[in-house]
């Protein structure tokens, strides 16, 4: 073994605790990087593979009723490679012994020929039998159910559920669970509620007969030819489907399941890039400080090596090996940690997104990228110290470094004299090395910011739930109808139900909204002019009244359309009779959810030329009467479905609370590693540099406590300054992350509660105390004779 290699091992052994903390910081950064990106890559790979195997369609359209003979005409549209039609219906579903409201999506499968798109794969049980056996004795309908809903509700082959099919109660017997690329994510209106929404596949002939749609269809899936223009194909399809109520043709970007998948992938890529960058930046800072200190304490050794003939490149390589040994240890640990946490994150994804095969894997390219980023960050962070080592002339290195200049501190210059000797010495020492002190404060502040970031998502989810389900939706139950109908008569029928205190009507209309050359597919939400049960609440928790305001757009929609208050937009109605309506924009709303437009329901009806129509109703209930009202709504023939706000909130919180808790815990641990790494390394360096001074003070009669106070006082000042700075940095980081995560569908509100600031401060203080105890132990074990002999 070469002499320099033996020296390298000796240096690592002597500084093992510092090397370990730096390696842990590196491991945290690489672990977060590998965790997020490997899970996202696994998710994207499973999605793309399932899309290909399941022949996922490119375009979709819903119609009221169209003849089967229209299919050949749709295939003639330029850019269309294939067309597949089906019959679908939304129904109310009941599980014996379960009182929660459940919505079911019934999809008809053509059992006479193999599907060409959106293939349904059976994951357990048996597939549907042939058409001759589709209707069992007693009118029982065999059905496949989506895997997520079956797991959430504990359904297995042979179980039965009841469905209100076209006003008639029918029994669905589960033959097996299934998966489809259309419903990788199957939640109610994009909500993570697998308990309240189920997809059921039945024989198309039986479902069509139940709705009197033999020889017809109401759903179209389209596969585009390679290189075809999606926009042109959508326009051509819309023209041919318009007379059947099918002007709403949309692509994958507006398909709910694909939207959820795509948003999750984009969000995790952001988090998997921004946060690890902070960790690696802190690791580079620590490496720079440690290497600089090592060079300073080994000046005589460097001079001796040069005098013995070692070239500059060998000495530089020696210290570079030291750096690489530390970061490579962190890299290996980080990859192992990332693989483990990535498997955990993939498991959490598997509860939301369902694939035939979904395994976690770390791509070789990701490993190479991790290694490159780690090594490059470490080398760049220590390059200055290594270059300074190479430039040291032997004669200069043999001389001790010039003593520091002692002068009055800034506080003393400002007239602040109430400082004891220990505090005065501590402040002077920090002022003599302002860059190192500033970097130490910055590292601890980064730990505070990361902890705030981890707990921010918990605060954001709480605010979203509170805003959407307490401030905005203040009613207890929502009921929606099969089609918009006469509002006064429906309202009266609902008001007569036992336990109903108040009823408020709504109407939502899907439109293609345009302004100039810009166009967006949006939902116009018609609320009461002065609502009480369902209100428009912005991200600042302020209510916006619709009375006399005209059309209000969310700020993101207004920006995409290039619209300002007072402008006129055109809305092509995508349901019912063909209509193109002009609306004057009365203002904008900063909303959390999607690209929406709000208007007084009565004004919406007038603009569309309709009577007093309503499609949805929000009910205020007497306490404890929810189950009774849900049961009573089943007797109303035009009611398509109902859901309980309390049930949906409970189901969402069960999922989101656990996942956010896991994320917060992981980020808090990572932040604690940063805090320990920065505080501990800074204290160890100060101890090494000031060992002679501290030993001298002990000989002069200072107690261990007094000597410790002088050293640990610098640590305390660093943490005290870093806490408010870190809270400010956390606030800025959250604003950055919120902007990066903002999408058309969702916007995380920027909110940080007092408990989050308190928790972040507590975590860093605990990390500092733990580091202080370790350093204090080393001070107590200080060999005064050996230390004093090191100074000539």
pLDDT of residue 699: 63
Residues 2, 315 contacting (CB under 8 angstroms): no
pLDDT at position 504, please?
A: 92
| Cβ atoms of residues 305 and 3 within 8 Å | no
Between CA 269 and CA 342, with CA 456 as vertex, the angle to 5 degrees is 40
Alpha carbon 331 to chain centroid, angstroms: 25
3-state percent helix, strand, coil for the chain, nearest multiple of 5: 55, 20, 25
Pairing of strands 543-544, 580-589: unpaired
Only one residue has tokens 């700020």, namely 555
Name which of 453, 445, 449, 452 is nearest 722 in CA terms.
445
Beta strands 249-251 and 59-67 are antiparallel
pTM value is: 0.80
Per-residue pLDDT at 16: 80
Under 8 Å CB-to-CB from 668, ≥6 apart: which residues?
Answer: 451, 454, 455, 759, 763
Q: Is there a contact between 220 and 74 (Cβ–Cβ < 8 Å)? A: yes
Q: How far is it, in rounded angstroms, from Cα 592 to Cα 414?
A: 49
Instruction: Tell me the per-residue pLDDT of 130-158, one tens digit each, with 9 for 90 and over.
Output: 665 555 555 788 999 999 889 888 899 98
Who contacts 731 (Cβ-Cβ below 8 Å, separation ≥6)? 452, 752
10 token code pair = 């000796």
Strand partners, 573: 511
* φ, ψ at 558 (rounded to 5°): -60, -40
Contact 217, 61 (CB under 8 A): no
Q: In the beta sheet, which residues pair with residue 633?
A: none
In this prediction, residue 397 carries a pLDDT of: 57
pLDDT at 686: 66
* Confidence at residue 529, expressed as pLDDT on a 0 to 100 scale: 87
Q: How far apart are CA 603 and CA 549, in angstroms?
A: 10
Judge whether 303 and 398 are in contact, CB under 8 Å. yes
| Sites in the chain below the pLDDT cut of 70 | 1, 130-138, 187-193, 296-297, 299, 389-433, 651, 654-658, 682-711, 745, 778-792
- The string of DSSP letters for 455-498 reads HHHHHHHHHHHHIIIIIIB-SSEEEEEEEEEEHHHHHHHHHTST
Letter string b/e over residues 61-84, b meaning 16 or more CB atoms within 10 A of that residue's CB? bbbeebeeebeeebeebebbebbb
Q: Are 329 and 378 in contact (CB under 8 A)?
A: no
pLDDT (0 to 100) of residue 400: 59
What distance in Å separates the CA atoms of residue 759 and residue 453, rounded to the nearest whole number? Answer: 11
How confident is the model at residue 792, as a pLDDT?
45
- Residues 224-264 pLDDT 10s: 999 889 889 988 998 888 888 777 788 998 888 888 888 88
| Exposure of 514 in the CB half-sphere (CA atoms within 13 A) | 10
Question: How high is the pLDDT of residue 404?
Answer: 56
Considering only CA atoms, which of 503, 517, 532, 527 is closest in space to residue 596? Answer: 527
Contact 98, 115 (CB under 8 A): no
């Amino acid at each position: 073994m070469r002499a320099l290699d033996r020296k390298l091992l000796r240096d690592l052994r002597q500084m093992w605790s510092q090397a370990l903390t730096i390696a842990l910081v590196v491991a945290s950064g690489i672990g977060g990087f590998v965790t997020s990106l490997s899970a996202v890559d696994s998710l994207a790979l499973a999605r793309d593979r399932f899309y290909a195997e399941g022949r996922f369609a490119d375009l979709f359209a819903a119609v009221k009723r169209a003849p089967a003979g229209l299919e050949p005409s749709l295939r003639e549209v330029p850019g269309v490679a294939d067309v597949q039609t089906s019959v679908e219906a939304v129904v109310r579903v009941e599980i014996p012994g379960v009182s929660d409201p459940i919505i079911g999506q019934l999809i008809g499968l053509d059992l006479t020929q193999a599907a060409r798109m959106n293939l349904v794969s059976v994951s357990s049980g048996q597939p549907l039998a042939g058409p001759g056996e589709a209707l069992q004795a007693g009118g029982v309908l065999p059905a496949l159910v989506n895997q997520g809903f079956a797991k959430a509700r504990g359904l297995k082959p042979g179980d039965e559920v009841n469905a209100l099919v076209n006003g008639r109660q029918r029994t669905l017997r589960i033959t097996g669970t299934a998966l489809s690329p259309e419903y990788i994510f199957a939640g109610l209106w994009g909500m993570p509620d697998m308990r309240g929404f189920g997809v059921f596949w039945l024989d198309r002939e039986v479902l069509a007969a139940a709705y009197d749609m033999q020889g017809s269809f109401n759903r179209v899936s389209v596969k585009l030819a390679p290189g075809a223009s999606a926009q042109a194909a959508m326009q051509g399809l819309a023209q041919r489907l318009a007379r059947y109520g099918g002007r709403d043709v949309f692509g994958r970007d507006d398909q709910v399941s694909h939207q959820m998948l795509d948003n999750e992938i984009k969000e995790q890529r952001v988090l998997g890039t921004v946060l690890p960058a902070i960790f690696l930046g802190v690791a580079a800072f620590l490496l720079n400080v440690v290497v600089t200190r090592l060079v300073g304490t080994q000046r005589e050794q460097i001079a001796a090596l040069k005098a013995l003939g070692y070239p500059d490149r060998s000495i530089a390589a020696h210290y570079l090996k030291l750096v690489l040994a530390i970061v490579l240890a962190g890299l290996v640990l980080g990859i192992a940690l990332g693989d483990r946490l990535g498997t955990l994150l993939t498991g959490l994804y598997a509860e939301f997104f369902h694939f035939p095969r979904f395994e976690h894997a770390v791509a070789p390219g990701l490993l190479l990228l991790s290694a490159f980023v780690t090594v490059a960050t470490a080398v760049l962070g220590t390059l200055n110290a290594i270059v300074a080592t190479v430039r040291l002339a032997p004669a200069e290195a043999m001389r001790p470094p010039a003593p520091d200049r002692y002068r009055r501190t800034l506080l003393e210059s400002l007239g602040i004299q109430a400082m004891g000797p220990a505090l005065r010495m501590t402040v002077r020492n920090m002022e003599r090395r302002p860059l190192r002190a500033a970097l130490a404060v910055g590292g601890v502040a980064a730990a505070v910011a990361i902890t705030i970031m981890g707990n921010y998502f918990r605060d954001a989810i709480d605010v979203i739930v509170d805003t959407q389900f307490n401030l905005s939706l203040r009613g207890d139950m929502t009921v929606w109808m099969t089609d918009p109908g006469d509002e006064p008569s429906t309202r009266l029928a609902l008001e007569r139900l036992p336990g109903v205190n108040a009823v408020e009507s709504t109407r939502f209309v899907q439109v293609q909204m345009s302004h100039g050359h810009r166009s967006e597919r949006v939902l116009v939400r018609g609320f009461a002019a002065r609502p009480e049960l369902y209100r428009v609440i912005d991200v600042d928790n302020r209510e916006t009244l619709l009375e006399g305001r005209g059309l209000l757009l969310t700020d993101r929609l207004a920006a995409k359309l290039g619209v300002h208050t007072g402008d006129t937009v055109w809305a092509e109605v995508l349901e019912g009779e063909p209509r193109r309506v002009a609306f004057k924009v009365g203002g904008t709303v900063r909303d959390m959810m999607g690209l929406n437009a709000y208007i007084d329901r009565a004004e919406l009806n007038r603009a569309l030329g309709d009577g007093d129509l309503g499609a949805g109703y929000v009910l205020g209930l007497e306490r404890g009467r929810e189950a009774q009202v849900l049961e009573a709504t089943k007797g109303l023939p035009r009611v398509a479905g109902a859901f309980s706000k309390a049930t949906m909130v409970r189901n969402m919180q069960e999922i989101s609370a656990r996942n956010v808790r896991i994320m917060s815990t992981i980020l808090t641990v990572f932040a604690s590693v940063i805090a320990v790494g920065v505080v501990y390394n800074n204290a160890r360096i100060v101890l090494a540099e000031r060992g002679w001074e501290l030993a001298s003070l002990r000989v002069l009669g200072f107690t261990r406590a007094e000597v410790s106070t002088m050293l640990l006082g610098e640590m305390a000042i660093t943490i005290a300054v870093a806490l408010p700075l870190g809270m400010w940095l956390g606030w800025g980081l959250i604003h950055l992350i919120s902007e990066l995560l903002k999408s058309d569908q969702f916007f995380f509100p920027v909110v940080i509660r007092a408990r989050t600031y308190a928790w972040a401060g507590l975590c860093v203080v605990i990390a500092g105390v733990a580091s202080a105890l370790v350093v204090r132990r080393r001070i107590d074990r200080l060999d005064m004779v050996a230390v004093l002999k090191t100074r000539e």
